[in-house]
Amino acid sequence: MKDGMIFPFKKTWRSRLDLDYLDETSGRKIASRSGQSPLKDQADHTTLGKRLKQFADYASKETLGQVHAGGFLHHKIVINPDGSRSSPSALSNGERKKRICKEWLEHLKQYQSSSRNPVIQHRLVFSMSAPFHDKLVASGLNPDSVLQISLKKVLRNFQERFHPNDSIGYAYGLHHDTDNLHAHVAICPRTANGKYVGVSMSRTRDSGNKNQMTYLMRSFDRENRRWDKLLADPEKLRQELGNRLDADKITIAPKLSAKQMESLKQEQSLYSTRLRHAYQSIQNLETVLEKKRQAHRTVRLIRYIPRLLRQSKPMPVRTIEKVTASIEKYSIREMQTLLFRMKQTYREDHRIYSQHYGFPSNQNQNHANRRTQPQSQGQRQTF
């Protein structure tokens, strides 16, 4: 395995569309790990917590078990039955999977294949090596976010190379249930315009295959080298993140447990007080930012209702609404930038405090994505 992200294998699926394998919290995935038949309560998060490996501090509900849509499928699932639109993040994971399946199958029906056994989906796996994962965490980056960014960029390059002026559709989910963080990807075999999407590897010069797999691996390798260069230059990495609107999500802040917070409170020194207040400020700002985002989505939905009812608003009203929306969007971006800077400052304070004072020894400071208990060789999943 390379010291970075790798592209292990591909499988073509012809029998049926199955997106449950993208969701690591689904009953079928849990049953496959435990070797038991699926149970109704196995998808429950309280049960899941006992079955999955220990997650890193950065793992959250935003990545745990979530299935995401990309390409033209992303634009289709946001449309509600009444014609309005919902952000994918505003949909439940179950609703998102349901919409992806519905749009996927309807799209394949629209462009039916002449084959007796047509391809339903291509399954891919993007995996991240443990050393590279730890490099990202040590640099204050969320490995989940980096894997998502790389995945989307590689598939966008794939689309531009083999399907220019068209769009591919895919769905993916991040998995933390092995020793390596990885993403399962399902690619729709038809583009938005109905062209066949192949993911083959040419083994001879006379083969009619376009060697898409080799291109994917090379694109993945280029993306891996790009991140390596950024990690080797902290100043360049800081500039790169500063130019991204999602820098606050990519950057992670070491979590403090309840016992650690109590210890800092009892110490009452300048350094402990500063660290405790910084951590609380980050949590408060994250809460406020999420509320603002939800309110912004709600306002957009309300503004869309008159259009749905074919009611025209006066021009002054429309102008005021546009200006208000622009100001609100700018406010959210300002808060994102502030949160990114606060996390950077907090990380440095946390590092200094840990070196000079330390935290209670019984607290786990390991942010690695692997579980604390060793896994037997027989149980380890290979790719």
Kindly report, residue by residue over 255-294, the tens digit of the pLDDT.
Answer: 888 888 888 888 888 888 999 999 999 999 988 888 887 7
Summarised one tens digit per residue, pLDDT across range 42-91 is 444 444 443 344 444 555 556 667 899 999 999 899 888 877 777 787 78
Residue 383 pLDDT greater than 50, yes or no: no
The pTM (predicted TM-score) of the whole model is 0.75
Q: What pLDDT is recorded for position 25?
A: 72
Q: What pLDDT is recorded for position 377?
A: 33
Reduce the DSSP state of residue 63 to 3 states and report it: coil
Summarised one tens digit per residue, pLDDT across range 175-221 is 887 778 889 999 999 999 999 998 887 655 554 557 888 888 889 88
Segment of 29-33, 87-91, 268-272, 346-350 carrying the highest mean pLDDT? 346-350
Task: Judge whether 63 and 52 are in contact, CB under 8 Å.
Answer: no
More confident residue, 313 or 152: 152
Pairing of strands 169-175, 5-6: unpaired
Q: What pLDDT is recorded for position 116?
A: 80
Summarised one tens digit per residue, pLDDT across range 99-116 is 999 999 999 999 988 888
Q: What pLDDT is recorded for position 319?
A: 72
Residue 326 pLDDT greater than 50, yes or no: yes
CA 279 from chain centre, in angstroms, equals 24
Q: What pLDDT is recorded for position 61?
A: 54
Residue with tokens 């037997």: 376
Mean pLDDT of the chain: 77
Residue with tokens 């002054």: 316
Residue 358 pLDDT greater than 90, yes or no: no
Q: What pLDDT is recorded for position 369?
A: 36
Summarised one tens digit per residue, pLDDT across range 287-320 is 888 888 777 767 766 666 666 556 676 776 567 6
Q: How far apart are CA 140 and CA 150, in angstroms?
A: 17
Q: Tell me the sheet residues that pair with 183.
A: 126, 174
Backbone CA torsion sign across 166, 168, 169, 172: negative
Task: Judge whether 28 and 116 are in contact, CB under 8 Å.
Answer: no
The Cα diameter of the chain in Å comes to: 74
Q: What pLDDT is recorded for position 49?
A: 41
Range list of β-strands (E), the chain: 5-6, 10-13, 67-71, 121-128, 169-175, 182-187
Q: What pLDDT is recorded for position 271?
A: 86
| Side-chain half-sphere CA neighbours of 64 within 13 A | 18
